[in-house]
Amino acid sequence: MLDFHPLQLEDFPRLRPFFGYSGSRICDTTPGTVFIWRDMYKTEWAIYDGSLYFKVDYPGLGPTFTLPLGGGRTEHYRQIADYCCRREMPIQFYPVSKDELERLQDFFPASTAATERDNFDYLYRAEDLKYFRGKKLSGQRNHVNKFLKTYGSWLFRPIAPEDIPSVKGFLDRYASRVDKSAASFHEDIAKTHEVLDNYQTYDLLGGMLLVDGQIAGFSLGEIIGDTLFTHIEKADRDYEGCYQMLVAQFAQHFATEGIAFINREDDAGDLGLRTSKLSYHPIALLEKYTVTVEEPCAFCQK
């Protein structure tokens, strides 16, 4: 029987090994995403028979389950059906990747599936973001060239523990200059501070771009399988071409041998962010489905 507990930062070491079972390129199945957004989405976890289950309260959806990590899917589905049947609640799965959708609906044939464009992840070829080669990426390449011509003294390097206070200071300056009232923006800033304050626990890849010795931007991400995920990216737009330079340098330094793709996550329906992410020419938009099962009790003993 599933017994869920609120997800806490101290759970990181125990739960991290399960994420190797993901097999997905969507950002929601990475430890960084799960832990960074755990408070806003009221994430809870349970381990049963060697598999990790998450229950998440997404805005507008209510309680949902992510696809469990480890073990076999059929047994996962039975456990979740039993949990929901006992509580007389429908089952909702989110996010379900397109690759997993058919298998899930084979088990729950009476289920319904819905998707929303705002939640699609942007997936890129790693080589495209490293060097912006070719005509379609000429605009991004021009921004990098502008940066190189304008700022003669620049450096990109991994974030070391002793850099954390300076990066946090940059983050505060960045936040003070951005006029956003959305709760997700403030949660993003707060959790970025948490990541930096617990740098070893999160164990993310971090890099910072400096101009004349001053931080102009930084990125934080992680590698799962053949994909580099960019979770956090902040830059000072006063430096021309800074974001494009940061994207390229982060890719060059961390998308090493065996890393074929970079996931830059979704745009949350923000038009400016959508325009920016499309300008880097993704090779795919990774669809995410919400699958709803109205009668979970019918599947408990299937």
Quick count: other Cβ atoms within 10 Å of Cβ 136? 12
> Sign of the C-alpha dihedral, residues 190, 278, 28, 299?
positive
pLDDT at 160 over 80: yes
The pLDDT value recorded for residue 59 is 83
Q: What is the DSSP string of 229-292?
A: EEEEEEE-TTSTTHHHHHHHHHHHHHS-TT--EEE----TT-HHHHHHHHHT--SEEE-EEEEE
Is-same-fold flag (5-120+287-299; 121-286)? Answer: yes
Name the one residue in this structure whose structure tokens are 């997905």: 24
Superfamily of domain 5-120+287-299: Gcn5-related N-acetyltransferase (GNAT) (3.40.630.30)
Where are the alpha helices (H) located in the chain, listed in sequence order? Answer: 12-15, 31-36, 73-86, 98-107, 126-131, 138-150, 164-177, 183-197, 199-202, 242-254, 271-279
Q: What is the mean pLDDT of residues 117-138?
A: 97
Q: Which of 2-11, 218-227, 292-301 has the lowest mean pLDDT?
A: 292-301
> pLDDT-based confidence at 221, cuts 50/70/90?
very high
Using the 8-state DSSP alphabet, how is residue 30 labeled?
S
Q: Is residue 285 a contact partner of residue 120, using CB atoms and an 8 Å limit?
A: yes
Average pLDDT, the chain: 94
| Spans of all domains in the chain | 5-120+287-299, 121-286
The pLDDT value recorded for residue 67 is 93
Q: What is the pLDDT of residues 59-102, one digit of tens each?
A: 888 899 999 998 778 889 999 999 999 999 999 999 999 999 99
Q: What CATH class does 121-286 carry?
A: alpha beta
Percent of the chain scoring above 70 in pLDDT: 99
pLDDT at 39 over 60: yes
